[in-house]
Every structure is written in structure tokens, then in C-alpha cells.
Amino acid sequence: MMKTYLVVGLGRFGTAVAKRLAELKKEVLVMDVNEDLVQQTANFVTRGVIGDSKDKEVLRALGAGNYDCAVVAIGKDLTASILTTMNLKELGIPMVVCKAQDESHKKVLEKIGADRVVFPEREMASRLAQGLASANVMEYIELSPDYGIVEFEAPAKWTGKNLRELNIRAKIGVNIIAIRTQTKILVSPSADYEIKAGNIIVALGDSRALNSVQKL
């Protein structure tokens, strides 16, 4: 069982991973070039370091090779993500998990030895599906800074109208991905579905559009 973790990159994803590992009583070392981000994790991780993970000697000095698992959660800097992954594998970390931006990035990470490549947005979608199956959906799930999934009760003025009439996707680019009734959950409801009072709507889209969807 893995007990020690190195998390590189303290954006939303990296910070969330580090916090959850700490809650699970694991030893967690976090690293970022941004001092403020490192300080923000100081209260819950084992240790925080300000440093450039592109420099293998910096990682070596930290004893990175002694950790059971590393999570490379670097955001938009693809060069830093790739070089960090290479360095960590060369230092001998048994498990290196990397966040990818797209399929091309994923392929590169896999070629240089990443043990697992994740797309946080897709994994959150999977969690949503599990939540739908258990009728326990969060009110809002952030998939990225500008994209998310929201759950809300259908506005009264939607009652009696079907999804084709509402035409929400065409109007503001929001997709209705599920509807919860008192007795069941409709995933990918048809355009002919007529909204009833008390229906719970689960919608996916741009955060700004989601803020205005109930006003249609």
C-alpha cells in the first residue's frame, strides 16, 4: 500500500488531491513554483516546497525518488509537465500519475513513462454518473474554472413545456444531461420530455451560461 506522495503543481486539481491524501492520513509533500500556493497548503500537508520541478537535481535533493507515488498536476505549462514526468521516472518513483490537457498531451506522457494519465473533467463526469445512480447529486460540480454541472429545480414557467420547446442548448449552449423525478432518473432525456412541477434538472455547460439557464 502506498503511504508517501509527492504532488507537483498546486492548481485546483493538485490542491484537491493533496488535501484528500492528507485527510486519508498519508504523508504528502507538495511542490510548486508559486510561494503563495505552497503556503496555502501548509496547514494540511506534511511538507511544502517552493521549487522548479523541471530541474531534476532539485527533485533529487528533495528525495523525490523515495516517494511511493507522484502526482504531476501541472496545468497549462505542457513543457513543465513533460519534463517533470521524465525527471520523476528517471529518479525511480514507482507510480507517476499525470494530469493531461488533451489526447496529444496524454500520448506524450505515456511515451515518456507515465504510469497513469488522467483527465480530471472526465473523472468528475464518472462521479456524476455514480451520483445519479444513487440519487445523490451535488448542487454544483466544477469541471474546470469555466465549465461545470449544476442541479436545480425546474422553474415554474418550464412546467408543461418539453425540452424541444425550451431549446436551451441552442439558446445558451447548456445541455440537459439528466432529469430527476420523484420516482426515477432520466439520463439523456428525449426532446419530447415534458417538464413537470418538481422535476430536478441536471445541466452541463459554461459557468456563465449555467448562471442564466433558470432565467430562460
Strand order in the sheet with 95-99: 47-50, 27-32, 4-8, 69-72, 95-99, 116-118
Give the count of beta carbons closer than 10 Å to the beta carbon of residue 45: 21
pLDDT tens string 60-82: 999 999 999 999 999 789 999 99
Report the distance separating Cα 59 and Cα 129, nearest Å: 38
Q: How many Cα atoms are found within 13 Å in the side-chain-facing hemisphere of 52?
A: 8
- pTM beyond 0.75: no
Residue 42 pLDDT exceeds 80? yes
Angstrom distance (rounded) from CA 5 to CA 127:
23
* The pLDDT of residue 128 is above 60: no
Residues β-bridged to residue 117: 98
Pairwise pLDDT comparison (109 vs 147), residue with the higher score: 109
